[in-house]
Amino acid sequence: MSRTLTERVHRRPRLSRAGAAVIGLGCLVLLTGCSEETTEQWKRLGLPEAASDRADYVHDLWMGAWIAAFIIGGFTWALMGWVSVRYRRRREDELPAQVRYNLPIEVLYSIAPVIVVVVLFFFTVQTQDKELAEVSNPDHEVVVTAQQWSWTFNYAKESGAGGEDVYDTGTPAQDPELWLVEDETVNFTLHSPDVIHSFWVPSFYFKLDVIPGLDHGFSMTPTKAGTFVGRCAELCGQHHSRMLFKVIVTDRQTFDEHMQELRDAGQTGVLRGGRESETVDGLDTAAGGGE
């Protein structure tokens, strides 16, 4: 054996150990260098921090789906690895037995996906029913009007606004604000005068389509004060990406003061889009659309 070949043979273990050490050190730095916020997000598997009483249902379904995916994926990869090792070629002049089909495995691969879909469907329907459960006597009633390409939030007969309906609206250039009270129930009614939109607040773990001709809704309770981002999650036209809004969850006194500000500004009544939206300052034909 030449000197060069001998050096290579003795050098390989050192290089392997050095490579393993570098990888291990990199993983350690990656794990210890993450902020507490990032670590918490990893625990939620990418979900934002929850801010509504309905979030637990979606959180449990999300985690369950990931657990099922890991189990099924691990079983499949283990089975593939076992077959590759168990039925590998052992001698150069001999091939493993070749068969056209394997009935037990084909039955397994046909039935298993059906079982997975049925189980996921069952838990999804259960979660949907819990998410859409209505509150009989909500503290607040909000009619959400989604229109090309902004939002109008109508507050029904709030005591802080003298018992009148008041509204808050916006434009694609100025995000509207949806005001809610922490730990107080609210019932949303969704309305669209033009095309299908979708009302989505990621931190509420909830999304529901807004369909023309079908006013429907849901109930929930915001559980965390703060400002959250909402958006349209249904491709609805040219300026779909600008259909953003802010959700402000605050205390009751601040909420009542804001309702009074809307009333003082003359923003009373209920706007449901179409021709009505064109009469609002800042919400012209480009933002409102006609009936």
Beta carbons of 145 and 278 less than 8 angstroms apart: no
Edge-to-edge strands, sheet with 186-191: 166-169, 150-155, 140-147, 186-191, 216-220
| pLDDT > 80? residue 90 | no
Collapsing DSSP states into helix, strand and coil, what is residue 258? helix
| pLDDT > 60? residue 19 | no
pLDDT at 9: 43
* 183: alpha, beta or left? (left if phi > 0; alpha if psi -120 to 50): left
**For residue range 113-126, what is the model confidence (pLDDT) as tens digits?**
899 999 999 999 99
For residue 61, CA distances in Å to 113, 205, 214 come to: 18, 11, 28
Residue 155 pairs in a beta bridge with 142, 166
| pLDDT > 80? residue 32 | no
Q: Within 10 A of 186 (CB to CB), how many other CB atoms are there?
A: 20
pLDDT at 104: 84
The CA distance from 281 to 267, in Å, is: 11
pLDDT at 24: 61
Terminal-to-terminal C-alpha distance of the chain: 89
